[in-house]
Structure 1
Amino acid sequence: MTVFHDRVDAGRRLAGLLRERLGASGDEDVVVLGLPRGGVPVAFEVARRLHAPLDVIVIRKLGVPHQPELAMGAIGEGGVRVVNDQIVRATGVSAPALESVRRREQAELDARVERFRGGRTRVPVTGRTVVVVDDGVATGATARAACQVARAQGADRVVLAVPVGSPDSVAGLRRVADEVVCLQEPEFFQAVGEWYEEFSQTPDREVVALLERAGRTGPG
């Protein structure tokens, strides 16, 4: 199994496989969406090599009250809300309680959108192929929510692309995304960071700088 040098290296390698899967002819109308923060440096390399626009997909999971690690849904920009009714019923979450969680997470989502995008218009995804990119998949909960939100925002096709992931989580994500592109699925997987030589935290300013750079240069 390959250990990536850093997220840039991982993005370049991932882009090579994506070009094969999506086709290098440019027939598909592709938008690349990076999951902040660590997914954005990977997504930047992917977008550049696919000659596609880059944006972030900002989501917030809706955690069950008193059990916040259990997601009962997710929200995204544009008023998109995805709710798992089965979990809501099983945990007995009332409509007012769900709305309270949504409002709290909406405030955080709005703050992050402003921080990362700074007033720039979100790249439209309606009717397009959306490639959701992260630096890896452990539990898959965030990636799952991102794919659901992208589809709810109008994406015609959702492709999840990651350099490395847990085999069980990747298998589960194939039921959510139209396609999952993963460079390697190690049998003995403990954490995403163990597959990188350099895996420091990606600061907000780097996310903003990459988005601004992509916006200035345009696709490719």
Structure 2
Amino acid sequence: MHRSQTEFVDRHDAGQRLAGELLHLKEERPVVLALPRGGVPVAFEVAKALAAPLDLLMVRKLGAPGHPEYGIGAVVDGSEPQLVLNDEAMEIVRPSAEYIEAEMQRQLKEIERRRAQYFSDRAPIPLSGRTAIVVDDGIATGGTVRVALKAIGKANAARIVLAVPVAPRDTLESLHDEADEVVCLSVPDHFRAVGLHYDNFEQTSDAEVVACLNAAREWLSPEA
């Protein structure tokens, strides 16, 4: 049962409380993956509590030929970027393999630009054989998160955990098959928007993302 409409003071408060439900994973030496930008302050607190490395999980939509707003799939950042195609959209649009490759490379360039902005020259952390904890500040429809989870599965993570402060029940249930474990602090009976569950839900700035990522290096041992 949720306590009130505003369960969380801000994203850092939500992250600290979410971390308390994830301490059982500390001995697995997990990698914490934040969905930018709002998921970064939440994931920062989780990574800090678990003494785990913090990385970003950037997802870019692949648009249909001539209709870039219509998604036919997505590519997800990582040490080995993963392509996830929407079978229904692909059946309708039927793009060529050459188009898909070109569109994927275009979106990967944008991911690389954003990663350089946040990380300078640091490469993504390999997920193969690791426990991956995917963190966002909340879930509404779950589309982006679903693509991210599918991509992590392709990256051969040993275990996938989805952890969020708040989400609607139906969306959460639809994501259970994509993760080995799902942790959510609040599942409102009448969900309207993620921001309504925070006292402070101001947009996370690029500067805050960089500050969190830089600070996250402080608690890591060389082998983390």
Normalising by structure 2, we get a TM-score of: 0.88
Check whether the contact 2:75–2:81 (CA below 8 A) recurs between aligned residues.
no
1:14-52 CA distances to partner (integer Å, 9 max, x unpaired)? Answer: 111122xxx26x431311111111101000101111221
Q: Distance in 2 between matches of 1:161 and 1:5?
A: 18
Matched residue SS, 1:36: coil
Which digits, 9 at most, give the CA deviation of each residue in 1:156-211, with x for residues without a partner? 11101000012111111112111111111112111110110000000111111111
Which of 100, 113, 134 is 1:98 aligned to? Answer: 100
Moved over 6 A (4+): none
Q: Which residue does 1:11 correspond to in 2?
A: 15
> What is the aligned counterpart of 1:210 among 205, 209, 212?
212
Moved more, 160-169 or 144-153: 144-153
Which letter maps to 1:130? A
Check conservation: 1:61, 1:142, Cα contact below 8 A. Answer: no
What is the root-mean-square deviation in Å for CA atoms of aligned residues? 2.0
Q: Which moved more, 1:43-52 or 1:70-79?
A: 70-79
Moved more, 174-183 or 59-68: 59-68
1:44–1:214 Cα contact (<8 Å) kept:
yes
Q: How does 1:80-99 map to 2 (within 5 A)?
A: 80-99=82-101
| AA of the residue aligned to 1:108 | E
Instruction: Give the Cα–Cα distance (whole angstroms) in 2 for the partners of residues 64 and 183 of structure 1.
Output: 37
Code of the residue aligned with 2:35 in structure 1: it is L
Q: CA deviation at 1:69?
A: 4.8
Q: In structure 2, what is the equivalent of residue 41 of structure 1?
A: 41
| Correspondence for 1:114 among 113, 116, 141 | 116
Amino acid at match of 2:57: I
Cα distance, 1:67 vs structure 2: 6.3
SS of equivalent residue, structure 1 residue 151? helix
Secondary structure (helix, strand or coil) at the match of 1:108 reads helix
Give me the whole-angstrom Cα distance separating, in 1, the residues matched to 2:63 and 2:169. Answer: 25
Structure 2: state its 5+ residue gaps: none
Residue of structure 2 in register with 1:73 after alignment: 74
Structure 2: how far apart are the matches of 1:94 and 1:187?
44
1:185 aligns with 2:187: yes
Per-residue deviation at 1:86?
Answer: 4.2
Q: Which residue of 1 aligns with 2:199?
A: 197
Give 3-state SS (helix, strand or coil) of 1:212's partner.
helix
Could you tell me whether the CA contact under 8 Å between 1:59 and 1:149 is conserved in 2?
Answer: no
Q: Is the 8 A contact 1:62 1:75 kept in 2?
A: no
Note if contact 1:126-1:155 (Cα within 8 Å) is conserved in structure 2.
yes
d(CA) in 1 for partners of 2:113, 2:200: 29
Quote the Cα distance in structure 1 between the aligned partners of 2:127 and 2:13: 27
3-state DSSP class of the match of 1:127? coil
Could you say what secondary structure the match of 1:33 adopts?
strand
Distance 1:168 1:74, change over 3 A: farther
Aligned pair in 2 of structure 1 residues 53, 105: CA closer, same or farther (>3 Å)?
same
Instruction: Measure, in 2, the Cα distance between the counterparts of 1:92 and 1:206.
Output: 41
Query: What residue identity is the alignment partner of 2:201?
Result: F
TM-score, normalised to structure 1, is 0.89
